Structure 1
Amino acid sequence: MRAVQFDRFGGPEVLTEVERPDPVPGDGEVLVEVEAAGVNFGDIKNVAGQYAPAETLPHVPGMEVVGRTADGTRVLGYLTSGGYASLAAVRARDLIEIPEEIGAGQAAALLVQGLTAWHLLRSAARVQPGEAVVVNAAAGGVGSLAIQLARHFGAGRVIATASTPDKRSLALDLGADSAVDGAADGYRERILDANHGRGVDVVLDAVGGEVFEQALGTLAHFGRLITYGASAGGPLPAVDPARLTMSNTVLGGLWLVPVLERSGAAGPPLRELLRLTVAQQLRPLVGGEYPLACAADAHRDLLDRRTAGKLVLRV
């Protein structure tokens, strides 16, 4: 089979297209002929050596595949690695049948990024009707879906942050009530101004760094700041527990992998996301499609924030 792998840790330059033996499905696994593979920041971390141990090299990254099983059923599947390939062995519990009218990019967007957005709002932040929700990095794969889902779940006001005017315009088009610059300098003032001077109930943050620190200062009493990444780099700032207690602030986090390992991917949340997409109540964005051999280009564009929405590799 064709695959993209890395045999040393590093940046996009270490990704190469190779021929590898076809995978042999184990117990409870299904062989999928891959139509497209999703690209995620987690793949970039994998290539950089933050996930994959050295003894697994050479390694094929990729956590999402859209394709067909041997009987022709079109499926969406989650796997811990191995998605950047023409064939993938996927656990049956992590496969879900998808309708033909959903594009491969849209389907891939609903898996890691769609489920992350769903669990951020439902499981971690537990958003209630009427609450004010801030979505940082709102033009990204998770952010663009979180805006729409927050609105669907009854948020009273959705405030988006993004780095460019075009991305802020996109956030407004997706349903945000307000979109502001997401830079750390002046972040707190812009968020409070967008919420008419009041603190917000929820902030979803994948930026980290000084933005994380500023976001804490935007929360109303019993507000929740949920972190799920740190694209700004470096560790999250230390938080004094006394600061949390004085303002009744809840600080939480989300990493999707343990959720999927516990419950499997093909559960009620993913079925809800598929249903909303078919009903055109949810619009997953496809930011770019690349040939499998150009996986390095997809990683560079994602790192340089040149895209909005979901990136996929066409096999």
Structure 2
Amino acid sequence: MRAIAVKEFGGPEVLELCEIPEPEIRPGRLRLRTILAGVNFADIHLREGTYPAPMPCPFVPGNEVLGEAEDGRRYVALGKGGGYAEVVAAHRKLAFEVPDGVSDHDAVALMLQGNTAWHLLHTDLKLTAEDTLLVPAAAGGVGSLAVQLAKRTGAKVVAMAGTEDKRRIALGLGADAVVDSSTTEDLAERIVEAASGQVTAALEMTGGDVFYATLNALTPRGRMSVFGAVTGVEGLVPITQLVGQSKSVTGFWLPSLYPSRTHINDSMTALFDAVQEGWLKPLPGPVYKLGQARQAHTDLAARLTSGKVVLNVRN
């Protein structure tokens, strides 16, 4: 079968289109012929060797797919690599049949990014209608879904994005206010102004100066959920600020919920229902051919994309 393999860590150039054997279909696995493979920042970190749960080389990246089973039914599935390939062996407990009313692209957008947005808001932050939520990269895969899910709870949403077009997208998704995140100068002050002085909850996935600006913008007893560090810049959380203002910072990684028998099942049911009811609309993103994986990674890393980025594995 055709697949994208990483034989050594590095830049997009290490993504190699090649022929490899199909995966073994062991008990508890479901053979899927891949239609779409999701492309995420986690794939970039895996390729670079900086992911929290690194994979040894060689490996096939891709943690989410939409594919067709032997009986013709469509499934979306989560995994730990293997998605950039024509055939995957999906864990049955992390594979979900796609309802007829949900499109291929919408279904794969819900898998990793939809579940991440859902659990960031409902499992980690426990968002309520009384909150004002800050959402970074609000025109991206997770951010665009988080804006809509947060508005559904009744919360006020302040969205950050780096271009005027992306800020317009965020407003179209329901954000109450937008902030230019292309520069970090006075970012905390601009966030507070957009939020009318009250940011009670925040998502964070950039790291560095954006992390500190987000923390500074939080009201006393505010809470922040960190689900990435795109810039790769790490630093110390100021303990005196946490204690002195009773702020909280938590980390979130979706695979930590995979062993649960209920978390992903419950969120997938809710997400599928939301799309079929029409109030949750995954943002369309660019579609690349399997052989264009390098370009997909390059564009995603350069923040040139919006919505859900996918590889069409059948092309």
TM-score range, shorter chain: over 0.9
* 8 Å CA contact retained: 1:35, 1:65: yes
Kindly provide the amino acid, as one letter, of the partner of residue 100 in structure 1: D
Structure 1 residue runs without a partner (length 5+): none
**2:114 paired with 1:114:** yes
* 8 Å CA contact retained: 1:105, 1:311: no
Q: Tell me which residue corresponds to 1:15.
A: 15
- Structure 1 length as normaliser, TM-score? 0.95
Q: Tell me which residue corresponds to 1:204.
A: 203
Q: Tell me which residue corresponds to 1:229.
A: 228
Structure 2 residue runs without a partner (length 5+): none
* 8 Å CA contact retained: 2:12, 2:297: yes
2:160 aligned counterpart, secondary structure: strand
Of 257-266 and 187-196, more deviation after overlay is shown by 257-266
* 8 Å CA contact retained: 1:93, 1:266: no
Q: Tell me which residue corresponds to 1:250.
A: 248
Q: Tell me which residue corresponds to 1:314.
A: 312
Of 213-222 and 58-67, more deviation after overlay is shown by 213-222
1:111 aligned counterpart, secondary structure: helix
Kindly provide the amino acid, as one letter, of the partner of residue 229 in structure 2: A
* 8 Å CA contact retained: 2:46, 2:54: no
RMSD, aligned CA: 1.5
Kindly state the Cα deviation for residue 232 of structure 1 after the two structures are TM-superposed: 2.3
Q: Tell me which residue corresponds to 2:214.
A: 215
CA shift digits 1:176-231 (9 cap, x unpaired): 000111132111111111122x2311011111111111111111121101111111
The 1:306/1:53 distance shift into structure 2, 3 A limit, reads: closer
Q: Tell me which residue corresponds to 2:149.
A: 149
Q: Distance in 2 between matches of 1:175 and 1:113?
A: 18
The 1:46/1:250 distance shift into structure 2, 3 A limit, reads: same
**2:165 paired with 1:163:** no
2:309 aligned counterpart, secondary structure: strand
Kindly provide the amino acid, as one letter, of the partner of residue 166 in structure 1: D
Of 256-265 and 89-98, more deviation after overlay is shown by 256-265
The 1:286/1:276 distance shift into structure 2, 3 A limit, reads: same
Q: Distance in 2 between matches of 1:103 and 1:274?
A: 10
The 1:144/1:201 distance shift into structure 2, 3 A limit, reads: same
* 8 Å CA contact retained: 1:95, 1:266: no
Of 207-216 and 256-265, more deviation after overlay is shown by 256-265
Matches within 5 A, 1:80-91: 80-91=80-91
**2:28 paired with 1:28:** yes
* 8 Å CA contact retained: 1:287, 1:310: yes
1:300 aligned counterpart, secondary structure: helix
- Structure 2 length as normaliser, TM-score? 0.95
Kindly provide the amino acid, as one letter, of the partner of residue 311 in structure 1: V
1:217 aligned counterpart, secondary structure: helix
Kindly provide the amino acid, as one letter, of the partner of residue 192 in structure 2: L
Kindly state the Cα deviation for residue 309 of structure 1 after the two structures are TM-superposed: 0.9
Kindly state the Cα deviation for residue 239 of structure 1 after the two structures are TM-superposed: 2.1
Matches within 5 A, 1:49-64: 49-51=49-51, 56-64=56-64
Q: Tell me which residue corresponds to 1:241.
A: 239
Q: Distance in 1 between matches of 2:246 and 2:57?
A: 46
